[in-house]
Amino acid sequence: MAKTKKKLSRTSLTKSRSSKKNKNSTSNVTVIQELHMGNSRNDSIRFEAGDLVPTTGSLYVAAACSLALITLSVIVVSAVCVKRKSRNQEPTSYCVAFALKSLKFLSSSPLVLIIHRPQRPGSGLSMSMLDPRQTDPTKRLRSLSVARDTLVLTRLVQEGIYGRIYQGTYGNHPVTIKSLNETASKRLVSSFLAEGSMFYGMEHKNVLTILCANLDDPKQPLLIYPYTNRGNLKKFLIKCRQKKGHIILSTQNLVDISIQILLGIMYLHGQHICYKDIATRNVVIDDKLQVKITDNSLSRDLFPNDYFCLQNQESKPVKWMALESLLYNQYTAASDVGAEFKPILLFLLQWSFGVLLWELTTMAQQPYPDVDPFELGVFIRNGMRLRQPHGCPDQLFALMTYCWAHHPAERPHVNQMLAFLQEFYTALCRFV
């Protein structure tokens, strides 16, 4: 992280020069519609075709300058807040406003900055990777089997074409129950069980593991998870945007949430699990703003607008995928059971994490709302990126742009991202 800061300091320009370039770059974008907090009618921004063109390196110069400025401020703040760093970072209250007014989403930006990371021995980068769909899920679920009469389904929370999520109880404990309806095929049932038991045996505060299962009806199995009273993070953010429930999130809240998600991702990597569907739809949240990464069973069914089939392949979260994954399908070869856990996969996931950060700062807006999924790979290859959301701090957007670097080796390591987010969070605490 120290090397990164030195690099950014050497490459950053003066504040006035950066501001001038940012002004020139943003003037090329014409917004047809604007989205305001509380306006539920317009869920996206429409851009003219001429807006989706590559620009010069102004955005990345600005990103470098922003990171240099936050680096200097963190050094000063750290001297005062050493004791604060040792404390547990409790989520802040809901009352601090994070106002989102007009949201402008798309921008073009060539990627030229390189983040230098320490050399690591090759042996430390090789580990086996698990694909739950290629193992027998019943073996994992057999030890978790419970009687059907111990489960009570009290309320239907969400329903898709073949999937359902209920609020219920197991004994005297509130739980979340996932199930399928009678129209689900054998293939869907098998995939549901495999993906639903993906985090079996995981023990981390930011990962939601399966509690138990009921397989009495092989066509309609039940998977049971710990209950989180705010439910799905994406749906929660949409309610915040629409002011349902009167919950207002601060930048500090959002950074804390992103730190928790990143800690969960790092834990899964340590367990040799390459989770390829990082998005707010696969995270749950409670009243204290504590979040947990969930498996993606039923995600394709419950969030169909987030997945697309390209070239007769399986349905994938196209708008969260890295450029090389879109163009060359680099996930496939390394996803086999026992395959080498190559560094490239970590950099693919960092791209998705950058999109997740963008989701957080836009209150779960849809990425690239007016871009054809079949053309997205070409647009990104030509330099197009998601635009900085209104109200998003420059420092946070700079991290997103690093995650979307054209070449995988230019993307930050997860440890660098964690250190940056934690320091940024500490700086925010200092000024609240």
Report DSSP letters for 342-407, one per residue. Answer: -HHHHHHHHHHHHHHHHHHHTTSPPSSTTS-GGGHHHHHHTTEEEPPPTT--HHHHHHHHHHT-SS
CA atoms within 13 A on the CB side of 410: 14
Residue numbers belonging to the annotated binding site for ATP: 281
- Residues 381, 397: one domain? yes
* Closest to 371 measured CA to CA, from 385, 357, 352: 385
Round the average pLDDT of the chain to a whole number and report it.
74
Please identify, among 226, 247, 263, the residue that sits at the C-terminal boundary of a domain.
Answer: 226
Predicted pLDDT of residue 246: 65
pLDDT band at residue 93, thresholds of 50, 70 and 90?
very low
* Closest to 223 measured CA to CA, from 164, 172, 284: 164
- Residues 283, 429: one domain? yes
- Residues 285, 410: one domain? yes
3-state secondary structure of 218: coil
pLDDT tens readout for residues 156-185: 999 999 999 999 999 999 999 999 999 999
3-state secondary structure of 166: strand
- Residues 23, 96: one domain? yes
pLDDT tens readout for residues 35-79: 233 333 333 333 333 333 343 444 454 555 555 565 555 454 454
Rg value, the chain, Cα: 22
Summarize the confidence of residues 187-209 as an average pLDDT. Answer: 93
277: annotated active-site residue: yes
Could you tell me the end-to-end alpha-carbon distance of the chain, in angstroms, rounded to an integer? 25
Which residues, 6+ apart, have CB-to-CB distance to 264 below 8 Å?
204, 206, 207, 291, 292, 293
Predicted pLDDT of residue 276: 85
Residue 240 CA: distances (Å) to CA of 243, 325, 407, 425? 5, 32, 35, 21
Q: Average the pLDDT over each of 201-210, 274-283, 320-329, 370-379 and give the range with the smallest value.
A: 320-329
- Residues 204, 235: one domain? no
3-state secondary structure of 212: strand
CA distance 411 to 408: 6
In contact, 48 and 253? CB cutoff 8 Å: no
In terms of DSSP H, where are the helices of 12-160? 15-26, 58-80, 82-85, 137-142
- Burial of 60: CB neighbours in 10 Å, binned 0-12, 13-18, 19+: buried
- Residues 18, 68: one domain? yes
- Residues 43, 182: one domain? no
- Residues 98, 207: one domain? no
Q: Domain containing 159: what range?
A: 132-226
Residue numbers belonging to the annotated binding site for Mg(2+): 282, 295
* Closest to 193 measured CA to CA, from 133, 151, 111: 133
* Closest to 47 measured CA to CA, from 372, 265, 278, 401: 372
Which residues, 6+ apart, have CB-to-CB distance to 17 below 8 Å?
none
Identified catalytic residue from 51, 256, 277, 306: 277
In contact, 29 and 104? CB cutoff 8 Å: yes
Predicted pLDDT of residue 137: 78
CA distance 129 to 273: 6
- Residues 160, 269: one domain? no
In terms of DSSP H, where are the helices of 175-330? 186-196, 233-241, 251-270, 299-302, 323-328
Token pair for 117:
């990371």
Counting the structural domains of the chain, the total is 2
pLDDT band at residue 347, thresholds of 50, 70 and 90?
low
pLDDT band at residue 311, thresholds of 50, 70 and 90?
confident
Predicted pLDDT of residue 328: 78
CA distance 230 to 291: 10
User: What CATH number is attached to the domain comprising 78?
Assistant: 1.10.510.10
Phi, psi of 57 (to 5 degrees): -85, 20
Q: Please state the pTM of the whole predicted model.
A: 0.69
Top pLDDT among 139 and 120 is at 139
Give percent of the chain above pLDDT 70.
63
Residue numbers belonging to the annotated binding site: 281-282, 295
pLDDT tens readout for residues 231-251: 999 999 999 998 866 688 999
Token pair for 212:
């138990």
Residue with tokens 């749950």: 284
- Residues 253, 397: one domain? yes
163 DSSP β-pair partners: 180
Please identify, among 226, 257, 276, the residue that sits at the C-terminal boundary of a domain.
Answer: 226
- Residues 77, 181: one domain? no
Predicted pLDDT of residue 107: 38
User: What CATH number is attached to the domain comprising 197?
Assistant: 3.30.200.20
Predicted pLDDT of residue 173: 95
Predicted pLDDT of residue 432: 65
Summarize the confidence of residues 300-327 as an average pLDDT. Answer: 89
Please identify, among 226, 256, 277, the residue that sits at the C-terminal boundary of a domain.
Answer: 226
- Residues 328, 430: one domain? yes
Beta carbons within 10 angstroms of residue 176's beta carbon: 21
Residue 327 CA: distances (Å) to CA of 25, 106, 197, 310, 311? 27, 20, 30, 11, 11
